[in-house]
Copies of this chain bind each other. A is one copy, B any other.
Amino acid sequence: MSFGDYIRQARLARQQTDKGYSLRQVAGRVGVEPAYLSKIERDVFPPPSEQMIVNLAADLGEDPDVLLALAGKLSSELREIIVRRPQLFAELIRQLKDAPDHAILRMVREVTDGDW
């Protein structure tokens, strides 16, 4: 699914139960022109800036990492973490490229348990 499709669906879903989710109102809260959001929802324009994606995620109650990923972007927050220790993270990520989801999840839990 494209970025545009995704946010249009998310918005329409909200609009079912909440009148405040017209394209114009969302655009207003997010801080852009309605015509611009319209084009983005229909993939006439490419996905917007990281800031606008984050704002959209907050307004629509979606996961910003997922929305950014649909836009082919990575949050600057995560980029900065990696860039601080490029070799370490580069190797880890390459190793995990083809690992199954559960293997990665297990790592997350290992670290959560803080056993270092």
Contacts and interface: CB of A to CB of B under 8 A. Distances in A.
Q: How many identical chains are in the complex?
A: 2
Interface stretch (A15-23, A26-34, A42-50, A86-94): A86-94
Contacts of A1: none
B81 A93 contact: yes
A80 to B, nearest CB: 8
Interface residues of A, number: 42
A112 B92 CA distance: 9
Interface string A85-109: 1111111111111011111111110
B103 A111 contact: yes
Contacts of A99: 111, 116
Contact of A63 (B63, B82, B87, B94): B87
